[in-house]
Chains A and B, each alone.
Chain A
Amino acid sequence: MIRRKHELVIIGAGPAGLAAALEAEKAGIDDILLIERDEYLGGILQQCIHNGFGLDYFGEELTGPEYAERFIEDVIASKTKIKLKTMVIDISQDKKITALNEEDGMMFIEAKSIILAMGCRERTREAIQIPGTRPAGILTAGTAQRFINIEGYLPGEKVVILGSGDIGLIMARRMALEGAKVKGVLEIMPYSSGLVRNKVQCLDDFGIPLKLNHTINRIYGKQRLEAVDIVEVDENLQPKLETKKRVECDTLLLSVGLIPENELSKSMGLKLAENSQGPYVNELRETDIPGVYACGNVLQVHDLVDYVSEEAEVAARAAADFINDNLERRNEEVEVIPGEGINYVIPHKISYKDDSRKLVRHFFRVSEPQENVKINIYDDSQQKLAGFSREIVTPGEIETIKLPEKLIPDNTKEITFVLEDEGEGINE
């Protein structure tokens, strides 16, 4: 049994946790514990063997493991203590962490500051409630990815994929490359939620059809999956039963969304934001418990790992400042509100004053694809503070805006992000 105190404890050693560990050490914290539940560092990146990572952060295109290893090598060389195969069971409001592993047994750890970097998990069949039997052969795209890329097993031969998110598209290519027959990818929405590049290189290259406005209506098979009924949906996403068609398959991969893994956040009573599905945070990624930060996919589901690393670094510098008591709060916190056309904005609020940072980067997702739009930002008296043009926006891709610190007024209680047509809006 272990009882310890650490200045900073980071939960999760995926891209967020790794970047946070390095940045915190750079910021002068030398008593860091990094806890990872898997048997290796790098998290889900290690099973994302495809390329396309790192263009933003490293300026070159890397595979998932390559991106991860650049951080891993530095973390191993650093003073950060690492606990692998260690499951955090509980975190209390006063930052006491309970964990379990096969080396030490129960671990009771007190932290001055905690960075939550637990990532996310996949939505399952249950989350979307597909009717039918419950045979073997139905798995999430990420589970299939682990089987194929890490464990070395193909889960099936004839595959249907539900959901056109990037993982679904990537797995379509991956299974086709390994000799499975991918019969098609179904997307209930009228547009793909994956990157155009993935649609072209993972589906079109292999002649795999993408069926928009389609979903699965029923699952057949007693022991192993035998077939699914696919059906077109109307504009209200309701199935048009006359379009029903049975497709034989032994495998159904689900790529129907990711959910930030916030069970520990809940256990410590953190305030959560419904729209982003993670903790409610300020611009330093600080939760409503001072000294507790969240970054990466546990905070918001990112589509670029580069932003995860960047976000983790923001949180890590803040944790270092918190430990060293270097922060100056604003007189009045500014709430950041997602207005018309915007699903959510991170940060949810701005709490600190820091003239040295000049810019505060905001991440947001729009609710529908649109072209030639403006993101206008208003204060609480409807005065426009700034406007940013975009040629095209889609819910599938996170948008970012760097808002100059000096544009955030001292006296406003909130600022609102609104998606408007180019030229619309007051005080142009």
Chain B
Amino acid sequence: MSAKFDIVIIGGGVIGTAIARRLSRYELDICLLEKDADVASGTSKANSGIIHAGYNAAVDTLKGRLNIKSNPLFDKIAEDLKVPFKRIGSLVVGFTEEDKEWLKKEKEMGESKGIKDLQLLDQKELLHQEPEIHSEASAALYAPTAGIISPYKLTIAQAENAVKNGVEIKLLSEVVDIRTKNGYIAGVILNSGEEIKTKVIINAAGLYADEIAAMVGERYKITPRKGEYNLFDKEYGDLVNHVIFPMPSKESKGILITPTVDGNLLLGPNSNPVEEKDDLAVTKEGLEEIWQGGTSLYPNLPRDGVIASFAGLRATLPSDDFKIEALNEPVGFIDVAGIQSPGLSSAPAIANMVAEILDDIRTSLQEELKLIEANFLPELEKQPSFQDYKQNLHEWQQIFLQNKKYGEVICRCEHVTRGEIEAELDKEFISPTLNGIKRRTRAGGGRCQGGFCGPRIAEIIAEKIGISPLEVTKSGPGSEILWTRVKDVKPDRDIVYGMGDKS
């Protein structure tokens, strides 16, 4: 017996989930497959979280066009999905006369693309906006429409909303092969051996898109480019007021500094090609590189304020552009590959474009697919979060009175209550892991990095899901956080030496 769907989406990143949500408007059976224990486990979990204004990607590229189309869509998406999003604006900061000239040209180019309200700031205006910036910074290009968002919260919310509208998400489900029949897509085989039948495959596998494409005989190569980051304590969140870019280089927009929607400060990324698609190691050199970059803009960055370092990988194609198209053969295979920056900024437009492609090919499928509008529910309910009530603690009392679990603080650094954690575990779409809880509630993501609350969150997950704490993982099977119960193993009888002279 095998499951049957109209569409299978491979990859639960910001792109795969955006597509899932977009297509859930139709009366279609859709399944999203994610190989990891949660959505947003690849590129979508570790990036800058910037919604770019759109002037900095060339207009003749697909990514440039989609970024510009997407930017205005985020206000409604964020509102519908209850994802924090702030249009704080971005500044590209220059130091020399040459830089100033370049910024001027960049402004003109942006305006010609229709980006509104770009402004050139002189040194005085820049200092007024960013008092802590390097004293020699002399000019900046201000783009008020740039914003910040939590990339993994957006991805998770898109997944939740897709599920609400009927999409089935299978976690820990890796596609190991694709079945075709007479030149048409027929199904996928999972690592479990299970076969899922489908007419359409949408390849949103991020870093692994080339491997999925190879299963249908298509050849291209995704090169991972690593970007390393430092995250700072909330104490330093207001050191910087905008997304601050340096003058860009060929490879990337440079090492930026930005507040995050959660109130931390984020520094990074560098950009270095790596061999392995799971090489998420932070390196000494890399951390040094981003530190140099950061302090060249903000000399007073507090080294002691770093609460986490991490790395993310961009999925890049040789063309350095997105590749979004349906294959001629097999019919029913749509590539959504090479989604590097500004991929997050372009996600809604990418999803729209995939819907258009689907409309184009639906009649040429072996069996026609009908796009009938369903009763789409675009909104998610807002979950109470104590963080949001800091200025209005009396109102939190009303939430507490409904459910006393909202009074028990589990994460002491981020002030996350038991109620908030359990609410996440009560949802239809969950990832009952420490990282899953951290991304959804911030519990364990603060300055002590789960030192105090890790054991408690593990206990809550175990209790709610009905598993032993020994089965609780950080990020899926293999990442169990505990080994055994004490007293179940015993030391050797001669564990202690007779004389303290063996050292």
Contacts and interface: CB of A to CB of B under 8 A. Distances in A.
Question: Within 8 Å by CB, do A and B touch in the complex?
Answer: yes
Interface of A: 1, 37, 85, 87, 89, 98, 100-106, 121-122, 124-127, 129, 131-137, 139-140, 142-143, 146-148, 151-157, 176-180, 200, 203-207, 209-210, 218-219, 222-224, 250-251, 263, 266
Contact of B394 (A101, A106, A146): A106
B401 A105 contact: yes
A105 B497 contact: no
B197 to A, nearest CB: 31
B451 A156 contact: no
Contacts of A146: 455
B307 A126 contact: yes
5 contacts: A143-B454, A155-B481, A204-B497, A204-B503, A206-B496
A210 B449 contact: no
B282 A139 contact: no
B479 interface: yes
Interface in B478-495: 478-487, 489-491, 495
Nearest to A38: B452
B396 interface: yes
B327 to A, nearest CB: 32
Given A104-B407, A105-B397, A140 B451 contact: yes
A249 to B, nearest CB: 12
Contact of B306 (A129, A134, A209): A129
Interface string B3-21: 0000000000000000000
Given A102-B408, A210-B503, A178 B480 contact: no
A153 B485 contact: yes
Contacts of A85: 408
Interface stretch (B164-172, B185-193, B469-477): B469-477
Nearest to A2: B397
A interface majority secondary structure: mixed
A87 B409 contact: yes
Contacts of A200: 500
Given A157-B484, A204-B497, 15 more contacts: A102-B405, A121-B451, A121-B452, A124-B447, A126-B308, A133-B280, A133-B281, A136-B473, A140-B451, A151-B455, A204-B501, A207-B497, A223-B474, A223-B477, A224-B480
Nearest to A174: B486
A131 B470 contact: no
Contacts of A142: 451
B449 A87 contact: no
Interface string B409-439: 1001101011000000000000000000000
Contacts of A178: 486-487, 489, 491
B320 to A, nearest CB: 28
B250 interface: no
B394 A209 contact: no
B295 to A, nearest CB: 15
B483 A250 contact: yes
B451 A132 contact: no
B376 interface: no
B484 A131 contact: no
B281 A1 contact: no
B452 A153 contact: no
A157 B497 CA distance: 21
A228 to B, nearest CB: 12
Given A105-B397, A179-B490, A210-B503, A127 B482 contact: no
B349 interface: no
Contacts of A87: 409, 412, 415
A132 B489 contact: no
Contacts of A205: 496-497, 500
Contacts of A124: 307, 447-449, 451
B495 A143 contact: no
A124 B412 CA distance: 15
Contacts of A224: 478-480
B407 A89 contact: no
Given A105-B407, A137-B481, A178-B491, A154 B486 contact: yes
Nearest to A157: B483
B170 to A, nearest CB: 19
B124 interface: no
B476 A223 contact: yes
Contacts of B483: 153-157, 180, 250-251
Interface string B439-473: 00000000111111011000100000000011001
Contacts of A250: 483
B282 A131 contact: yes
Interface in B279-318: 280-284, 286-287, 304, 306-310
Nearest to B235: A266
Contact of A1 (B397, B415, B497): B397
B404 interface: yes
Nearest to A150: B455
Closest 10 CB pairs of A and B: A223-B478, A179-B489, A87-B409, A105-B400, A223-B479, A136-B474, A102-B407, A136-B479, A102-B408, A204-B500
B477 to A, nearest CB: 7
Nearest to B434: A136
B88 to A, nearest CB: 24
Given A101-B407, A126-B306, A176 B491 contact: yes
B502 A207 contact: yes
Interface centre among B407, B500, B503 (most CB of A within 10 A): B407
Contacts of B481: 136-137, 155
Contacts of B283: 131
Given A151-B455, A207-B497, A223-B475, A134 B280 contact: yes
A266 B400 CA distance: 27
Contacts of A132: 281-282
A211 to B, nearest CB: 11
Contacts of A125: 449
Contacts of A204: 497, 500-503
B278 interface: yes
A234 to B, nearest CB: 15
A207 B495 CA distance: 9
Interface centre among B304, B483, B501 (most CB of A within 10 A): B483
A218 B286 CA distance: 13
B449 A153 contact: no
B451 A143 contact: yes
Interface in B41-92: none
B492 to A, nearest CB: 8
A152 B469 CA distance: 11
Interface centre among A127, A136, A140, A218 (most CB of B within 10 A): A136
A373 B417 CA distance: 52
A40 B254 CA distance: 50
